[in-house]
Amino acid sequence: MQPITKLVAVQARIMDFISDNKKEITIYDIARELNISPATVSRGLNDHPAVKSNTKKKIVQLAKDLGYQSNTFASNLRKKRTNTIGLILPTINSNFHSSVIAGVEKVANDAGYTLLISQSLEAAGKEAANAKTMFNSRVDGLLVSLAYETNNIEHFQPFINKGIPLIFYDRVFEHKNCTSIVIDNFKAGYEVTQHLISQGAKKLVHITGNLNRNVYADRLKGFKLALMENEIPFSKDNVLAININKEEDLQEAITTILGMPERPDGIFVANDTSAVILIKALKKEKIKVPGDIMVVGFNNDPISKVIEPNLTTVNYPGYEMGEVAARNLINHLNGVMDIISTNTIILRSDLIIRESSLRNL
């Protein structure tokens, strides 16, 4: 066969492949075309050192010409590794959580991992269902921020049993086999409260969420400690533990506060969204913030810089937390780092003082 003729023939066959949109191009097609074995093609495509560079070049070129796309499933099936990491979180559409996702996605993507995301919508049942799906999808590792309602982590047991790394962040659960990534909520709560007291607050109230969740429980502990250190008596009235994501519950709490015989002069709210709603309500009642009542939030959401007065809050580094969680998981998966050795990672958080808590201006 003359070179030209041969070229034409190859071309024709290429066109055959391309036009026939029913069949996928596989390594077998490439192998046949090049008169080599599928094994070599597989190695060539994976840049295996034991393939002659010339052969490799031919393989890669033809693969490109034919528009070959590796079949992830066949590969995963055989390799028993999916290069996928799972992420289960309460809700996607909040500033904090979407920042976390962005951070995780960035790191995962750069490391060649695919990301599987699902939201529990704060329901334990859905969290369990999601976990099961993730397990079936054979994620290489799992990142979790627990649902509001979750009381135990039985539904994650299969991962633990199978040695699939499981990392909790934000809303964590203590477990000897799992790493937790958090900020020091205790310290943050303590600092917030100390700050309020240093600004002259005498009667403090803390509006918080489900105390089964570490984030809320720890902040409360910090709150209590600060009161104690300043010899301010603590009673149940100082804390309103509500379902902080439910606006009605929050409204009720606000009503409670407004109706208190002796109104508080410093309120520490466990998230910015709620703090902003509170401030708006106070302003409507002609109560001055910070003049009459100082308010501090938590998270450093964008709204905290928009509300007037600007809201004092705690910077909760979501994006960074996502990055750290993902990096940790991936390092562990790649054997760079042993995850068991690090049980808890604490990220830096900062009290950001703005007008809403500055009485001594």
Partner DNA sequence: AAATATATTGCAACCGATTACAAAATTGGT
Partner DNA sequence: ACCAATTTTGTAATCGGTTGCAATATATTT
Q: Which residues bind DNA (CB under 7 A)?
A: 23-24, 26-28, 35-40, 42-43, 45-46, 49-56, 68, 70-71, 74-75, 77-80
Q: Which residue has the tokens 């439910």?
A: 246
For the record, the structure tokens of 190 come out as 């303590």
Let me know: does 242 contact 252? Beta carbons within 8 Å.
yes
CB of 52 or CB of 202, closer to DNA: 52
CB of 76 to a copy of itself, least distance (A): 4
10 binds, among DNA, a copy of itself, none (CB under 5 to 8 A by kind): none
CB of 5 or CB of 21, closer to DNA: 21
The CA distance from 148 to 169, in Å, is: 14
176 binds, among DNA, a copy of itself, none (CB under 5 to 8 A by kind): none
CB of 66 or CB of 241, closer to DNA: 66
CB of 42 to DNA, least distance (A): 4
CB of 217 to DNA, least distance (A): 41
The CA distance from 134 to 116, in Å, is: 8
CB of 4 or CB of 50, closer to DNA: 50
Number of other CB atoms surrounding residue 224 within 10 Å: 19
Let me know: does 14 contact 65? Beta carbons within 8 Å.
yes
CA distances from 14 to 1, 30, 59, 204 (A): 18, 10, 14, 76
The CA distance from 135 to 166, in Å, is: 11
CB of 68 to DNA, least distance (A): 7
CB of 108 to a copy of itself, least distance (A): 9
CB of 180 to a copy of itself, least distance (A): 23
Q: Which residue blocks in the chain are alpha helix, DSSP H?
A: 3-19, 27-34, 38-45, 53-66, 72-79, 95-110, 124-136, 157-162, 185-198, 214-229, 247-258, 272-284, 318-333
The CA distance from 274 to 271, in Å, is: 6
CB of 252 to DNA, least distance (A): 49
For the record, the structure tokens of 136 come out as 């079936």
By the criterion CB under 8 A, which residues form the site for a copy of itself? 21, 67, 69-74, 76-77, 82, 91-95, 97-99, 101-102, 105-106, 109, 114-119, 121, 130, 132-133, 135-138, 158, 161-163, 273, 276, 280, 302-303, 306-308, 318-319
CB of 17 or CB of 186, closer to a copy of itself: 17
53 binds, among a copy of itself, DNA, none (CB under 5 to 8 A by kind): DNA
Q: Which residue has the tokens 């994650």?
A: 156
CB of 71 or CB of 198, closer to a copy of itself: 71
Residues of the chain by 3-state class (helix, strand, coil), percent to 5: 50, 15, 35
Collapse the DSSP code of 292 into the 3-class scheme (helix H, G, I; strand E, B; otherwise coil) and give the result. Answer: coil
CB of 140 or CB of 323, closer to DNA: 140
